[in-house]
Structure 1
């Protein structure tokens, strides 16, 4: 089968959607399907990419790390015609999501839509953010889902919420999987040596895109408080994004800059080593639809301390593979660590 994946974000962009598209594309190929990914250009992408068609885009839109696509050149439509998709899998309801809808209609093939994100929680990236804007994107996502032939929800919570909002298209709950072997054999000692972290240090770790919607201000404040009462503890934050500077400033003000480690974006073996170096994984986002980094941490054998929120409590079972705590309760979070 020829599967066309259409997404507003793709590698090397850091985020759950880009990773999901990459993992599912690879899984489809391993099962003998042909996969073509249609996505915008991003800084740092490879010059030569097989089975990826890039759309010209405005990069770092409105101070974010997102790319916003420009009009699609006609030559790309010729490439899609040559590919002859049997199905179109859309990962967003807007921008290239519109293109996915037109391509599916033009080729008379089914459209599948994965509702990765609760978009109303990200409208601060758009000019003119307002309650009306939030309502608009909710209606946009719901309407788009009802134009698809099938909808994929990454967690049960998302599926229930979509039905509550009026989605009548059939919904399947399919989380993005984790390849256990990719995370179960990391070398934590090597990672600590690489970044000059003591072997007896208690490492609080975090992995993800460093952005405001990840509730990193709260997380940084809570971890800094934990560090103040645990002299042997350090904080390792793996990832990149617009909130990196604010995290650095927070720890500088608290007088513990020397116990904050920001190795940047890591992938592959380096990322597995980073997880293996952690004693606990800290996570405070309440905008997740599945929180793939939670599953990655668990695959590495690292317990999780997280806020109790949709998309998180689908993965973390309180008292079994981690601790769930009330959102925005810093004292509880510190005690959980």
Structure 2
């Protein structure tokens, strides 16, 4: 198959969607498929850093409104020529906005099936745009839902998200395909070497977190819980890997609690440093409720780490309470989270059981399993459609199809606005 993926974020940006696109693209190529990724430009990326036969970059505004995301500008003519040369058979959009629009136009114009992976709970990110409000949250929910209903298939990273999309009105057939994890890589981490490099004592009990350090990740909650736990655990250390706007707040909170020396922040990690960092931890902490999958949870378990997390979409598919870690109710307070950490640290036998069960859980999310599931969805989308859904197009039909794509995009956006403002403004958007 020849697959063209459209994404608003891609390597070298570090994040769940960028990693997911890169993993699936690589794994599909290893299985004999051709994959072309259409993505925005990125600071520090130079000509020759990547294969132009595999990635097409389009102009974009970087770090939109203080976020880690980019906003693409008009697509250049060379993009269309590159697409003509590639001759895709299927279009796969990883976002409903920005390059998602371009993906839909491309699919409609070329009469190709389009798939959409609903990676993100977009309503949790409206604080990055002006006029954030419950109405804005409802608007992005409606917009994503309407985009999904213009596609041939929708992919959800977890069962929780698949159920949520159905509840929100997605009628397009939805398939669950989580992003795969390189279980072999994360099993080989060298934690002692990583600790030595950071001067973390061998006897320390290391609480760990890895990911983008942003407000929507519920890091204020997690930091408070980690501080409370470290006050009780005399050898407790909080190891944090990642970059983002919440970094300074975490440092300030630990310093304010008189525990600045118990916090170790290592920034962005790549290559072997990633599995080594996981291996240096004794317990992985995760409090985000905005995930659709939570790739770091399966990475941690592949490294043998027990996990303590809040019950939310993504986390509940991976963490089984008192089997491979702890899954606390979303209503839990930082005191409850800290108590779970302290109890786990005191029970070495239970930690050992969670370690073994976590390794078994991670195998269910291996890259080999996930890419085969994605292949099945592609093959399903490529099957002949009912009569009237389109065969070959002459030039006139192609023009009509392009106009219809534009009309669908416009009516989708206006419909989302009407749906959003049609509810009382004081009713919060539905957030599962």
Q: Residue 151 of structure 2 corresponds to which residue in structure 1?
A: 148
Within the alignment, does 1:329 sit opposite 2:333 as a pair? yes
Runs ≥4 residues deviating over 6 A: none
What is the rounded CA distance, in whole Å, between the counterparts of 1:141 and 1:126 in structure 2?
16
Q: Looking at secondary structure, tell me which structure has more helix per residue.
A: 2
Which region of structure 1 is more displaced relative to structure 2, 214-223 or 324-333?
324-333
User: How big is each residue's C-alpha offset from its partner over 1:279-330, in whole Å with a ceiling of 9 and x where there is no partner?
Assistant: 0000000011110000000000000011111211111011111101123411
1:8 aligns with 2:8: yes
TM-score by length of 2: 0.77
- Report if aligned partners of 1:182, 1:268 keep a CA contact under 8 Å in 2: no
Deviates more, 1:71-80 or 1:89-98: 71-80
Q: Does 1:22 align with 2:25?
A: no
The aligned residue for residue 262 of structure 1 is 265
- In the alignment, structure 1 segments of 5+ residues that lack a partner are none
Structure with more contact order per residue of length (Cα contacts < 8 Å, sep ≥ 6): 2
Tell me how many residue pairs correspond in the alignment: 337
Query: Of 175, 178, 183, which aligns to 2:178?
Result: 175
Query: What secondary structure does 2:35 align onto?
Result: strand
From 108, 111, 114, give the equivalent of 2:114.
Answer: 111
Separation in 1, partners of 2:71, 2:200 = 39
Higher Rg: 2
Q: Is 1:191 aligned to residue 194 of structure 2?
A: yes
Give 1:95's aligned residue: 98
Corresponding residue number in structure 2 for 1:42: 42
**Gapped runs of 5+ residues in structure 2?**
342-432
Query: Which of 228, 246, 262 is matched with 1:243 structurally?
Result: 246
Q: Work out whether residues 326 and 332 of structure 1, in 8 Å CA contact, stay in contact via their aligned partners in 2.
A: no
Alpha-carbon offset, residue 268 of structure 1? 2.1
Corresponding position: 1:164 with 2:167: yes
Quote the offset at 1:46 in angstroms: 5.1
Q: Secondary structure at the match of 2:138?
A: helix
Task: Give how far 1:42 is off.
Answer: 2.0
Question: Who is 1:224 aligned against?
Answer: 227
1:252 aligns with 2:255: yes
Contact 1:150 1:169 in 2 (8 A): yes
- Could you tell me how far 1:195 is from its partner in structure 2? 0.8
